[in-house]
Structure 1
Amino acid sequence: MTTSAALLTDHYELTMVQAARQSGTADRRAVFELFPRRLPGGRRYGVVAGVGRALDAVEDFRFDAASLAVLEGLVDPGMLEWLASYRFSGDIHGYAEGEAFFPHSPLLVVEGTFAEAVLLETVLLSIYNHDSAIASAASRMTLAAGARPCIEMGSRRTHEEAAVAAARAAYVAGFEATSNLAARARHGVPSTGTSAHSFTLLHDAEADAFRAQVQTLGVGTTLLVDTYDVTEAVRLAVEVAGTGLGAVRLDSGDLGEVAREVRAQLDSLGATGTRIVVTSDLDEHAIAALAAAPVDAYGVGTQLVTGSGHPTCGFVYKLVAREGDDGRMVSVAKKSTDKRSIGGRKYALRRRSASGVAEAEVVGIGADPADDGDDRPLLMPLVRDGEVVGRTTLEQARTRHRTSLAELPRAVTQMSAGEPVIPTVFEGG
């Protein structure tokens, strides 16, 4: 079984290259663009994620012996020989991981031969569509949470590999930790966790379960207090752990009301520093509704890993320019009414006021748009001559996310459906 990224693609990518080789056009210079035609309905902005994973995929896009064996009989021998030596040798520019995006933002600009660049289409779309959907949802959740931390805990609600990518994307967009150990091992995302209801049910008495957990994990642990009666569980939790108990977790009921009752009870028992963590199918709207409740942290699962209703960003990957018979680059675009694209190599900047507030996403066609002095370029080199040059750390991506959102208009904090907080403006062409 092959572990190469090369087969994470669609059959027709290979048949296109085979036919282009036959027609003599496979080596024409080409420019592809990965972009959203629109934001998911009602969303005011999106967040770029998956850049690091995409760069890994480009580096790993090699047709090894196992991959080629799968393709025997699907493409001709000449094509197999070409694939055996495939290496992307072009250039890629793109938005930094953690950056906000808007309709028609040119998130990736891939330049190379047609054959080299088209083969990357499926894997790049797969990574960007998934990870950016998760990050966009996570960003709204962390905005709603304010200074209260969010913990990703959705592994059991999605594909096992998607769970790892989701934890990474959520971390980029401001989540503090994950329950997923593979995300910790592969990406360095901090992990956390204590116990489930089954641990309490395992023991003859709830106090026995609490005692075992505290003896193992210390008084700073988080005790789950809604297996039976919440009021009695909180009393037992403080009795077992003392007033230095780290936190209690609520996973059911009217979370706001129960949190208020538990806060009052904890304070009356002297556990004034014990935090309250809430879980149970939270999304950004539920988190916002709990803003006035005495909640200290949120655990988010299903709604996060499914993009809070938008599990994909609808990104597309389109040829926007290619080499003509005379050797010059010409713009090309799809003209159908409902899926129209805009031809030409793109450049982008974030237009900002003198006070640093974003006013527009400016996309230049064929050349850099005019910079009025307060603007911020958005495209950075990611791959040059086939070599990755733009890799960043997750901490840098988290910083980029915070600074990108900080310059957007205040309407970005609204959870209600609305139009993008800044317009997309085209220049040139």
Structure 2
Amino acid sequence: MLQAALARGTAGRRSVFEVFGRRLPGARRYGVVAGTGRLLDAIEKFRFDDDSLAFLERAQVVDAPTLEWLSGYRFSGDVWGYGEGDAYFPNSPVLVVEASFAEAVVLETLALSVLNFDSAVATAASRMTTAAGRRPCIEMGSRRAHEQAAVAAARAAYIAGFAASSNLEAGRSFGVPTRGTSAHSFTLLHDTERDAFTAQVDSLGKGTTLLVDTYDVAEAVQLGVEIAGSSLGAVRLDSGDLLSMAAEVRQQLDSLGATETKIVVTSDLDEHAIAALAAAPVDGYGVGTALVTGAGTPTAGLVYKLVAREDDDGRLVSVEKKSSGKVSHGGRKYALRRLGARGFAEAEVIGVGRPPDDDGRGAADRPLLVPLIRDGEVVGREPLDAARDRHRRAREELPPTALQLSRGGPAIPTHWEERT
């Protein structure tokens, strides 16, 4: 596309691309935008180095004029987007890229690969932290994902309310708090469970978390309290009927005087399993496979479409795809979240051509698009905790039906305001 547009003389036309989803993945009631910070870093560094250009030339992917153009590539346009951590709905303009066609079109795969994965994980994570209530969730899915995706997943989960991750690279790269526990292999390494627990407590202190289901759970709990005393930090359950087992372990810990020792559960948890444990005396959840695979929906289904471009007279005109089943809505978009008198979201309002107006009926409607890149310079970089706080506020703003875990339609409708 780039080569042909350069040859035709249309590559420099001012263009507007938009990232949006035609529907919410997995029949969920809202989605969560994540990956924005990673995408900004990636766009800022996006270049075609000598090795890349040499490959394109050797494989005859593009011609010499296109190689010359790519050799000087640096994005110099503008990008707006929903703030990271915010909720989104069908047709929400999650990201708006305005630049020449040539500069914007080569960002498609980069933008979608980041936003689709991170938003899928964050959406699943938000449902899990909703189900968990005040109990903390720990991300523990690195062994179930690509090594780089695992780091991105930990970051996305933290935005959506997870308390920590077992992925140390996520801590190093993004400041995500890190936590972890021992594995069954540590217990099996030692001659006895007593030896294993003693080694762990001696090295890590009495506040450590002991894995108690390698052999007999009741015996392990007894042994753990005997070694660490009533100040034992926590025990972890990783198998069996977690609901009944947690109740039995809580009763045993209390009878031993370890009333402050916490119970952490793992073992293929998802949002539904977490919700089912709401009545159990559990203090935290470790979530792995379901989280890093989007709880069955591993992509957010976002697309990157041209919605407006410059005509021969220099005017920006709307363009849209009209084929059956994959219709896009043309025009430069603006968006706000319409809020009712009690501050709950009532609709996603998308203006075409100009921002929609506050209807003045309830709380002040909230504009959703924020500047991210201006003239090629990143202006929207923010601390990860800002995205985490935004998600908390956005979720509190949604109507209560949005937090239901059953399959259903979007929690709020999308309304269009056509302007010229």
Q: TM-score band, normalised by the shorter chain?
A: over 0.9
- Residues 169-209 of structure 1, C-alpha deviations (whole Å, 9 max, x = no match): 00000001101111111111111113100000011110110
1:188 to 161, 166, 175: 175
Q: Quick one: distance in 2 between partners of 1:295 and 1:276? A: 5
2:53 to 59, 65, 68: 68
1:1-400 equivalence runs, <5 A:
16-72=1-57, 73-373=60-360, 374-400=364-390
1:395-414 equivalence runs, <5 A:
395-414=385-404
Instruction: Tell me by how many angstroms 1:101 deviates.
Output: 0.5
Q: Quick one: distance in 2 between partners of 1:185 and 1:357? A: 37
Paired residue type of 2:418: G
Tell me the TM-score normalized by structure 1.
0.96
Q: Quick one: distance in 1 between partners of 2:207 and 2:401? A: 38
How many residue pairs get aligned? The number is 414
Q: Quick one: distance in 2 between partners of 1:428 and 1:78? A: 40
Tell me the TM-score normalized by structure 2.
0.98
Q: Quick one: distance in 1 between partners of 2:111 and 2:233? A: 42
Is 2:29–2:403's contact at 8 Å kept on the other side of the alignment? Answer: no
Q: Quick one: distance in 2 between partners of 1:421 and 1:193? A: 35
SS of the residue corresponding to residue 338 of structure 1 reads coil
Q: Quick one: distance in 2 between partners of 1:194 and 1:364? A: 49
Q: Quick one: distance in 2 between partners of 1:92 and 1:413? A: 31
Partner of 1:10: none
Instruction: Tell me by how many angstroms 1:414 deviates.
Output: 1.1
Q: Quick one: distance in 2 between partners of 1:146 and 1:413? A: 11
Q: Quick one: distance in 2 between partners of 1:83 and 1:235? A: 66
Is 2:309–2:318's contact at 8 Å kept on the other side of the alignment? Answer: yes
Partner of 1:423: 413
Q: Quick one: distance in 2 between partners of 1:37 and 1:419? A: 13
Instruction: Tell me by how many angstroms 1:150 deviates.
Output: 0.1
Partner of 1:11: none
Q: Where does structure 1 lack aligned partners over 5 or more consecutive residues?
A: 1-15
Q: What's the Cα RMSD here?
A: 0.7
- Residues 249-281 of structure 1, C-alpha deviations (whole Å, 9 max, x = no match): 000000010000000000000000000000000
Deviating more after overlay: 166-175 vs 363-372? 363-372
Q: Quick one: distance in 1 between partners of 2:234 and 2:202? A: 15
Q: Quick one: distance in 1 between partners of 2:61 and 2:264? A: 54
Is 2:349–2:415's contact at 8 Å kept on the other side of the alignment? Answer: yes
Partner of 1:4: none
Deviating more after overlay: 201-210 vs 365-374? 365-374
Deviating more after overlay: 214-223 vs 411-420? 411-420
List structure 1 segments (4+ residues) > 2 angstroms apart after TM superposition.
Answer: none
Partner of 1:5: none
